[in-house]
Structure 1
Amino acid sequence: MAAVPTAAVTPVRRRRTRPRRPLWAYALLVLAGLLFAIPLFWLLSSSLKTNAEIYSWPLQWLPSAPNLANFTRAWESAPFDSFFVNSIVVTVAGTLGKVVLAVSTAYAFAFLRFPGKNILFLFMIGALMVPGHVTLLVNYITISNLGLINTYAGIILPGLASAFGTFLLRQHFLSLPAEVMEAASIDGAGHVRRLISFVVPMSRPAVVTVALIAVIDEWNSFVWPLIATNSLDMRTLPIGLMFLKDAEGINDWGVIMAGTVFVVLPMLLVFLFAQKYIITGLAGAAIRK
């Protein structure tokens, strides 16, 4: 029997087919998307409507003629320029402080050995379960005794420690290749150099995720800036919305919605541009116990 030429025998490659998801899964996904998208759409649409269009029945989803005067009235009815400056200062300084503390603390929990390390980590995990409002009175007394009421420092300092950010980064640091850290140690790199030159660059998605969560938290904070300030020129944007509502009255919803757009739009743009980092950072931290 003649041998079959090897060139004539070719392996059959099977295409990998992804399992088809059931139709109800797509229906639930669309429903969940609508639950989030409809209120946002109504906010943007109402900011361009007159009061008659907002109160019309049946509902008028789109304005007949976009009314940009609502944004002008909102800006002139409240000092939004001061609100924006205050929110930017508090958000930038608070985010930088949170990220620096979270990165350094997570590095200590992940790579350093010291007495009581596991107990301290359990206390930090327990802090995640304590509502923030429990510490409002203590924080206010402390800030008042330090003479920091109605200052940027008084708004920023009590919230600098981030238990969630530390936990997330610690979990991600533990998933880094041990060979890289051993090579850095053999090369003579100290802890600061390892952190700055190796750990942080390899953990960029997780660090960006913590920074974005801190940005959103600082930007949307309402209760503590309201308590820690007593003058209008130190208020932040969320408190400015309350001032706008009191100034314009509850019936002028077009102006109030326009003011709400001033608060929501910056964070919406930040999330749209950085959502991939959030997904990557959270997924990377979830793979390590």
Structure 2
Amino acid sequence: MKTFKMERLFVIILLILGGIIVSVPFIWMISSSFKPESEVLQIPPTLIPENPTLENYANLFESMNFGVYLRNTLIIVLFSFVGLFFNAMAGYGFAKYQFKGREKIFYIVLATMMIPAQVTMIPVYLILNEMGLTNTMTGIVLPGLAAAFSIFLFRQFMTTIPTDLIEAARLDGAGELYIFFRLIVPIAKPIFAVQGILTFIGAWNSFLWPLIIANDESLYTLSVGLSLLQGQYANNFGLQMAGAAFMVVPIIIIFSFFQKYIVEGFTMSGIK
């Protein structure tokens, strides 16, 4: 018993030390974002700003057009959630509809998960270029409306919904869209929660595709703007820390509140 307590104490101390080590860069980033430029590189360094200021955050929007980048990122996030419902409909169709070639088509969808996104970027770019959608917001958001992994998770979850429940709704005269939005969506709240979180994180961090498809700065996202910040203001570390904090903090908040849904969603999709 005494040995067990000692082992538990050792594990707790190890976890605390690990947490502190992992948290130091994040704490330093937040602290430096409120420091004037002269204090960021001060020796000895200060963890708590001696002269806290919001000047770095103000400069992000005044000098770097972060307001435009934020608007574009929010647009991508919004359309990503629209795509989330498309993926849910596709998963529902694969799970509950019987049609010719269903399994083969689903296997093709799964096969696309094995292909790195970087491989398909050039063909997608060429297709959008032929459609005249390069350097447009439509070209940025359109490829992200469908995701094989999201369809797979929705399909796995929706196979657990009793088919008799859907048939009963049809016998009562309910239409297919009514069944999906009023019956299926409420039942599938756990998987919608986890996919919503993953969708937000992916859209908020979108970098490579907007950088490839758009050459107009008015279409850049926060991630692209942050990379520009590192190039144009390489020596202004306070400004860079403010940009990084502006990118990271919303994700940390979202993940902190909803991390349990991520674990539960994957568990339910994998086991059921």
Partner of 2:40: 54
Gaps of 5+ in 2: none
Please report how far the alpha carbon of residue 32 of structure 1 lies from its aligned counterpart in structure 2 after TM superposition. Answer: 5.2
1:275 to 259, 262, 266: 259
Please report how far the alpha carbon of residue 240 of structure 1 lies from its aligned counterpart in structure 2 after TM superposition. Answer: 0.9
1:41 to 24, 27, 30: 27
Partner of 2:135: 150
Please report how far the alpha carbon of residue 95 of structure 1 lies from its aligned counterpart in structure 2 after TM superposition. Answer: 2.3
Please report how far the alpha carbon of residue 207 of structure 1 lies from its aligned counterpart in structure 2 after TM superposition. Answer: 1.0
Looking at structure 2, the residues matched to 190 and 36 of structure 1 have their Cα atoms a distance apart, in angstroms, of: 52
Larger radius of gyration: 1
1:86 to 67, 72, 96: 72
Partner of 2:152: 167
Taking a change above 3 Å as real, the CA distance of residues 31 and 119 of structure 1, as seen in their structure-2 partners, is farther
Aligned letter for 2:246? F
Please report how far the alpha carbon of residue 286 of structure 1 lies from its aligned counterpart in structure 2 after TM superposition. Answer: 2.4
Partner of 1:266: 250
Partner of 2:172: 187
TM-score, with length taken from structure 1: 0.83
Taking a change above 3 Å as real, the CA distance of residues 272 and 183 of structure 1, as seen in their structure-2 partners, is same
Q: Secondary structure at the match of 1:286?
A: helix
Instruction: Tell me which stretches of 4 or more aligned residues in structure 1 moved more than 4 Å.
Output: 56-59
CA RMSD, 1 decimal? 2.4
Aligned letter for 1:108? G
Looking at structure 2, the residues matched to 209 and 92 of structure 1 have their Cα atoms a distance apart, in angstroms, of: 16
2:235 to 251, 259, 264: 251
Looking at structure 1, the residues matched to 207 and 50 of structure 2 have their Cα atoms a distance apart, in angstroms, of: 34
Partner of 1:112: 97
Please report how far the alpha carbon of residue 224 of structure 1 lies from its aligned counterpart in structure 2 after TM superposition. Answer: 0.6
Taking a change above 3 Å as real, the CA distance of residues 182 and 35 of structure 1, as seen in their structure-2 partners, is farther
Please report how far the alpha carbon of residue 271 of structure 1 lies from its aligned counterpart in structure 2 after TM superposition. Answer: 2.7
1:138-180 deviation per Cα after TM superposition (whole angstroms, max 9, x unaligned): 1111111111112110101112111111111111112224443
Taking a change above 3 Å as real, the CA distance of residues 177 and 41 of structure 1, as seen in their structure-2 partners, is farther
1:121 to 106, 115, 120: 106
Q: Is the 8 A contact 2:95 2:159 kept in 1?
A: yes
Residue 224 (1) aligns with residue 209 (2): yes
Question: What percentage of residue pairs aligned between the two structures are identical?
Answer: 34
Structure with the bigger percentage of helix? 2
Please report how far the alpha carbon of residue 28 of structure 1 lies from its aligned counterpart in structure 2 after TM superposition. Answer: 5.3
Partner of 2:60: 74
Looking at structure 2, the residues matched to 136 and 53 of structure 1 have their Cα atoms a distance apart, in angstroms, of: 43
1:87-129 deviation per Cα after TM superposition (whole angstroms, max 9, x unaligned): 1112111221x21221111001111112222222222222222
Please report how far the alpha carbon of residue 229 of structure 1 lies from its aligned counterpart in structure 2 after TM superposition. Answer: 0.8
Q: Is the 8 A contact 1:75 1:259 kept in 2?
A: no
Q: Is the 8 A contact 1:95 1:218 kept in 2?
A: no
Looking at structure 2, the residues matched to 175 and 226 of structure 1 have their Cα atoms a distance apart, in angstroms, of: 40
Looking at structure 2, the residues matched to 103 and 219 of structure 1 have their Cα atoms a distance apart, in angstroms, of: 20
Partner of 2:87: 102
Looking at structure 1, the residues matched to 162 and 19 of structure 2 have their Cα atoms a distance apart, in angstroms, of: 37
Aligned letter for 1:65? N
Please report how far the alpha carbon of residue 188 of structure 1 lies from its aligned counterpart in structure 2 after TM superposition. Answer: 3.9
Aligned length: 268
Taking a change above 3 Å as real, the CA distance of residues 130 and 193 of structure 1, as seen in their structure-2 partners, is same
Looking at structure 1, the residues matched to 32 and 107 of structure 2 have their Cα atoms a distance apart, in angstroms, of: 47
